[in-house]
Amino acid sequence: MKQPEALLEVRDLHKWFPLRRRLLSRAREVVKAVDGVSFDVRRGEVLSLVGESGSGKSTVGRSVLRLTVPTAGTIRFAGTDITHFSRRQMRPFRQRMQLVFQDPYASLNPRMTVEGILAAPLEIHGRAASRSDRRDKIEEALRLVGLLPQHAARYPHEFSGGQRQRIGIARALMTGPELLIADEPVSALDVSIQAQVVNLLVELKRRLGLTILFVAHDLAVVGHISDRIAVMYLGRLVELAETRELFGNPRHPYTEALLSAAPIPDPTFKRERIVLAGDIPSPVNPPSGCSFRTRCPYALPACGEARPPLREVAPGHFKACIRDDLRLRAPG
Amino acid sequence: MTATPALVPAMAPVTRSAASMAEDVVLDVEDLSVSFVSPQGIVPAAREVSFEVRRGETLAMVGESGSGKSVTSLAILRLTPPAPQCRIEGRVRLRAGDRRVHDLLALPEARMRELRGSAAAMVFQEPMTSLNPVHKIGDQIAEAVRFHSALSKRGALDRAAELLDLVGIPDVRRRMSSYPHQLSGGMRQRVMIAIALSCEPVLLIADEPTTALDVTIQAQILELLHDLQQRTQMALLFITHNLGVVAEIADRVIVMYAGRVVEEAAVLPLFKRPLMPYTQGLLRSVPRLDLAGRRCDELAAIPGNVPDPLALPPGCSFAPRCAHRVPELCDARVPLLEGAGAEHFVRCARWASLAEGAPP
């Protein structure tokens, strides 16, 4: 897993949230939102975390940014262990890792102009030498995301959803970050606008050499933008591979089911769809062994015995499943 | 889940202005316009929308936010706000189970309430906000059953259990006494579908029923709707923004843009030979799962934004974003919805010349 330099190394990350103790119950219950996740994000790549709601993908993103304190495990950014850094120690690192939010309506302050929104990161990190330097930086960021300098004087409500998301991206770029964490950045947008924002992210990656951790549930979008994809289920990684390899040769039954469930915009496209039974189990009380076994069409009694480790089954292709005898289907 | 030709018998070309409804037409919408009065002026949300849905057929209505698709569906069942704030024009006719045709916009509210839920039912996007959080699931379904039938409380609860079983909820007896918050999103949507189906409607309107759900759960719900339709032969008006879902479930498709129908066709020609530049752009802008990782080029995004409904372009609403715009042609007036082949309609002044240049 360690070919080019890893900008971000996540090892055995755990994030458990304690639940309120119930009357008469002795054990304190915890939600195991992230339960032992390890991966690297290499410099200059887009790594996507995909999974359904409750899979823990957003919690991984938030832990990496240290917006939440991990329960266990380590996070190394550019070689430095930041897992237990204080707020003050984190500060220089915050400039180097920035977040793009899902909801472009809720993540911009409606009472601030675009200029104010974009100036905030500069002020917090003391990055603007003078007023003219500040204006130059804001104009540059606006151009970079496809907006005009005169937009700086406007308020968020004057923009459409897609334009607001561009402002959110511009804000994340103000501090010149190396790592961008994009948490469902296009899922609140209309289809025709989604493509604009996806293209923008791809272009920024190329032009600025950004590294992006892309958190999303839409496999088609993820497939378009990512170099590698990590699939999460119930707080764990179940498969990780290069995009083309993952889509062309899925090795984990959950990945197969996800790919098979995603609707394809082509009425002539025929396939036998795998419809998983039931819902994702509760992360308070996940199944023993492989957490997917309760919905897995290929589960064996042995699947409940031990938790399958994430192991390399082909160069660069990792999976957490004990069954190597399966021939899984890929779309297309 | 493809078009089943047997359900749509060959018949004379559909004439929209015909006074009588063809025998297999369940819903006939004619020139439906919905506008809202706002402090900034009158907002036209849907304009001269016309379409039909036949028995056993799934008609998908596609469009982005603000295209008027939800407003159209709400207006059909008269669920839009009352008169001064909201104006509805046009005609909506529904052929109920007893074959009688009702002119929905002319009915007194009391009659309308009887038809809503019994002849035509609706499923919404957000199953949590559509259910009452303080009542048990079983009681909520039984309430819907009793509203439209003479069943006793006991009988209605039995019927509720039957319905939950029909929509594939396991452990029905226990689920009957669950509260909505105890169910997952997919389960709640199944309960909503059970309520909608409680009186065996001839028409089910589903407004983005799977948008709030995960893909694996979405697949379950789509399969359920398809199975139920096969069994009951109900007409399904499916509103969505997801072209993948359309390809999977629809027999025919209506594409909406800025309040108007811009294209209508059977599912296959719509995807294989779209005529409206907006439909073409929409189809190209969707990333394809089956092509993932195989191309690194840009997605073909549609430039610009959906127009402001208070300041619509004078001619074709899509013209400002259209690559094929010819100002003197496209901005002169709103193009008509023209017939472009067997049951294929398109609202574009240039469709014929564009189609000639296009590869077959």
Confidence of residue A270 (pLDDT cuts 50, 70, 90): confident
CB pairs under 8 A between A and B: 156
Q: Give the mean model confidence (pLDDT) for residues A65-82.
A: 94
- The per-residue pLDDT for range B84-93, each reduced to its tens digit, is 899 999 999 9
Q: Is the pLDDT of residue A74 over 80?
A: yes
pLDDT of res. A45: 95
What is the domain partition of chain A in residue ranges? 6-96+177-319, 107-176
- The per-residue pLDDT for range A124-143, each reduced to its tens digit, is 999 888 999 999 999 999 99
pLDDT of res. A232: 96
Query: Among partner residues A243, A258, A266, which is closest to B216 by beta-carbon distance?
Result: A258
Q: Give the mean model confidence (pLDDT) for residues A157-171.
A: 93
Confidence of residue A250 (pLDDT cuts 50, 70, 90): very high
Q: Is the pLDDT of residue B8 over 80?
A: no
Confidence of residue B292 (pLDDT cuts 50, 70, 90): low
Decide which of B266 and B295 is more confident: B266
Confidence of residue A268 (pLDDT cuts 50, 70, 90): confident
pLDDT of res. B149: 86
Query: Among partner residues A245, A262, A278, which is closest to B289 by beta-carbon distance?
Result: A262
Q: In chain A, which ranges are E strands? A: 6-18, 30-42, 46-50, 72-77, 80-81, 97-100, 179-183, 211-216, 228-233, 236-242, 311-314, 317-319
The pTM is what?
0.87
Confidence of residue B298 (pLDDT cuts 50, 70, 90): confident
pLDDT of res. B13: 40
- The per-residue pLDDT for range B313-356, each reduced to its tens digit, is 999 999 999 999 999 999 999 999 999 988 899 999 999 999 88
Say which CATH class B25-250 falls into: alpha beta
Query: Among partner residues B214, B301, B306, which is closest to A217 by beta-carbon distance?
Result: B214
- The per-residue pLDDT for range A221-234, each reduced to its tens digit, is 999 999 999 999 99
How far apart CA A230 and CA A55 sit, in angstroms, is 12
Q: Give the mean model confidence (pLDDT) for residues A234-248.
A: 95
Q: Is the pLDDT of residue B5 over 50?
A: no
Residue A219: closest CA among chain B residues belongs to which residue? B289
What is the domain partition of chain B in residue ranges? 25-250, 272-289+298-357
pLDDT of res. B256: 97
How far apart CA B288 and CA B296 sit, in angstroms, is 12
pLDDT of res. A330: 83
How far apart CA A166 and CA A141 sit, in angstroms, is 10
Query: Among partner residues B219, B285, B288, which is closest to A261 by beta-carbon distance?
Result: B219
Confidence of residue B199 (pLDDT cuts 50, 70, 90): confident
Q: What is the ipTM metric for this complex?
A: 0.83
B294 contact residues in A (CB cutoff 8 A): 244
Helix or strand holding residue A87 (H, E): helix A87-94
Q: Give the mean model confidence (pLDDT) for residues B123-150.
A: 89
pLDDT of res. B3: 42
Residue A189 CB partners (closer than 8 Å, separation 6+): A104, A161, A162, A165, A197
Q: Does B64 touch chain A (CB under 8 A)?
A: yes
* Placement of tokens 């003050």 in the chain: A88
pLDDT of res. A30: 87
Q: Give the mean model confidence (pLDDT) for residues B141-154.
A: 91
* CATH of span A6-96+177-319: 3.40.50.300
Decide which of B104 and A104 is more confident: B104
Q: Is the pLDDT of residue B40 over 50?
A: yes
Confidence of residue B296 (pLDDT cuts 50, 70, 90): low
Residue B270: closest CA among chain A residues belongs to which residue? A267
**How high does pLDDT run on average in chain A?**
91
- The first and second tokens of residue A203, run together, are 């272009």
How far apart CA A118 and CA A125 sit, in angstroms, is 12
Confidence of residue B293 (pLDDT cuts 50, 70, 90): low
Q: Give the mean model confidence (pLDDT) for residues B222-228.
A: 93
pLDDT of res. B359: 52
B191-212: burial string, b at 16+ Cβ within 10 Å, e else: bbbbbbbbbebbbbbbbbbbeb
pLDDT of res. A301: 94
- The per-residue pLDDT for range A186-214, each reduced to its tens digit, is 988 888 889 999 999 999 999 999 999 99
**How high does pLDDT run on average in chain B?**
88
Q: Does A189 touch chain B (CB under 8 A)?
A: no
pLDDT of res. B2: 43
